[in-house]
Structure 1
Amino acid sequence: MEIPIQFPTVPLSSGHNIPVLGLGMSHHGGYSHNALLYALRSCGIRHIDTAKRYGNEELVGKAVSESGVKREELWITTKLWPGDYGYDKATQACLDACKRLGVQYLDLYLMHWPDAHVPGKSSREARAETWKALEDLYYRGICRSIGVSNFLIHHLEQLKEDCSVVPHLNQVEYHPFQRPQELVNYCKRNNIVFGGYCPLAKGQALTHPLILRIAKQYGKTPAQICIRWSIQNGVVTIPKSTKESRIQENCQVFDFHLQHSDMMWISSLHSNKKLIHLTYPLWKG
């Protein structure tokens, strides 16, 4: 087994350092056991991003166990589904996630969506109650860092008013067509690390003429250009793939640097094109 490279990390306000590049799972064909093993053993991936909703936490735990990589070398992120919001349900859901993953602690636990359907409570009240559960899990060391996903500025402002721990990370859709710079700037001002999923715009960025031109200029693939652009913007970037060759390709982004002018050209593609809708309709399950 070749010795994989070590990827750069970004410091969180929790005191822990998150690898700037991860491998994302999903519930739409988002798991391949062999691909995850390959990512861990051969590509240097140490950051795995999953969620209860994806239904593969047990499989991820199995791959981690089989990989031979030490637990302390890994960064495991999973997410709390809105159906488990509320203090007691969130606490139990976290413990259940740890059990499914076969770990004693989570490196990062995220509230998956801001919408919160808890009977008798407003969304704001439900978010605050749920976040207080995550704060206690953080204080207990069961979650070494805690954060949110898909939260907008007003959601983050409310949490700041209602609770005591500012989220360590906010994970949001981020790619050349969707660059929410106002949210990025807000997170930076409040010491919240910005995480980005869907960096290839579900493949739509890979055929754009500008991306193709820049890729040819650097002798890189369009995917590598998009991921490098995201990382150079200070974003913890989470591409998804179940193909070994693609995972290897996506990891080879630390041997070149995009010039400022090319960064600006790619950023100019922003059209507020969201591929993931903020209000997620599948509350059950």
Structure 2
Amino acid sequence: AGEDATEGVLRNVRECGARLALGRPIDLVLLHWPGVFGSSDAALNERKRIEMWRGLERAKEEGLCRSIGVSSFTRRHLEQLYAHDLAHAPVVNQLQCHPLHSNAELVRYCRDKGVTVTAW
């Protein structure tokens, strides 16, 4: 939680690209979780979420990946993200979605924002 998450994410995307050795940008990179694992500090989680997103934006701008998105973000998480001056909006939100947990309101919100929902 002490490290600047922007630089950490950018470094991790670079390392992932090197390990994959695709010879081209990674198709899609997701923020796997909307905060700091194990933290219930809402302010810290929001700050880190924005820092992590900035890292993904930089990765996209540097040509390390083609698209960027999120995973397990709620509407509140997305609204907090959109409240900042984004260079790139998320193209995907990967979330729990199945017949027993439709997540219909969040799916509708994502659709309205142009965010593709993928289910896990």
User: Normalised by the size of structure 2, how large is the TM-score?
Assistant: 0.86
Shift of 1:171: 0.3
Shift of 1:85: 7.3
Task: Report the Cα distance in structure 2 between the residues aligned to 1:141 and 1:110, rounded to whole angstroms.
Answer: 15
Residue range with higher mean Cα deviation, 94-103 or 187-196: 94-103
Who is 2:28 aligned against? 108
Q: Write out per-residue CA displacement over residues 224-262 of structure 1, whole angstroms, 9 at most, x where no aligned residue.
A: xxxxxxxxxxxxxxxxxxxxxxxxxxxxxxxxxxxxxxx
Who is 2:61 aligned against? 139
Unmatched segments (≥5 aa) in structure 2:
none
Shift of 1:101: 1.4
Letter of the 2:60 partner, please give it: Y
1:128 to 18, 27, 50: 50
Q: Write out per-residue CA displacement over residues 94-127 of structure 1, whole angstroms, 9 at most, x where no aligned residue.
A: 0111122122411000000012269xx7111111
Task: Report the Cα distance in structure 2 between the residues aligned to 1:195 and 1:137, rounded to whole angstroms.
Answer: 22
Give the number of the structure whose alpha-carbon radius of gyration is greater.
Answer: 1
CA gap of 1:85–1:153, structure 2 versus 1, over 3 A, is farther
Q: What is the root-mean-square deviation of aligned Cα atoms in Å?
A: 2.0
Q: Write out per-residue CA displacement over residues 30-86 of structure 1, whole angstroms, 9 at most, x where no aligned residue.
A: xxxxxxxxxxxxxxxxxxxxxxxxxxxxxxxxxxxxxxxxxxxxxxxxxxxx9x870
Higher relative contact order (CA 8 A, sep 6+): 2
Letter of the 1:96 partner, please give it: E
1:158 to 69, 80, 84: 80
Task: Report the Cα distance in structure 1 between the residues aligned to 2:4 and 2:16, rounded to whole angstroms.
Answer: 14
Moved over 3 A (4+): none
- Tell me, yes or no, if structure 1 residue 186 matches structure 2 residue 106: no
Task: Report the Cα distance in structure 2 between the residues aligned to 1:147 and 1:176, rounded to whole angstroms.
Answer: 24
Q: Any idea what SS the aligned residue of 1:144 has?
A: strand
More strand per residue: 1 or 2? 2
Sequence identity percentage: 33
User: Normalised by the size of structure 1, how large is the TM-score?
Assistant: 0.38
Spell out the pairing of 1:2-151 with structure 2 (5 A cutoff). Answer: 86-103=5-22, 104-116=24-36, 122-151=44-73
- Tell me, yes or no, if structure 1 residue 195 matches structure 2 residue 118: yes
Q: Any idea what SS the aligned residue of 1:176 has?
A: coil
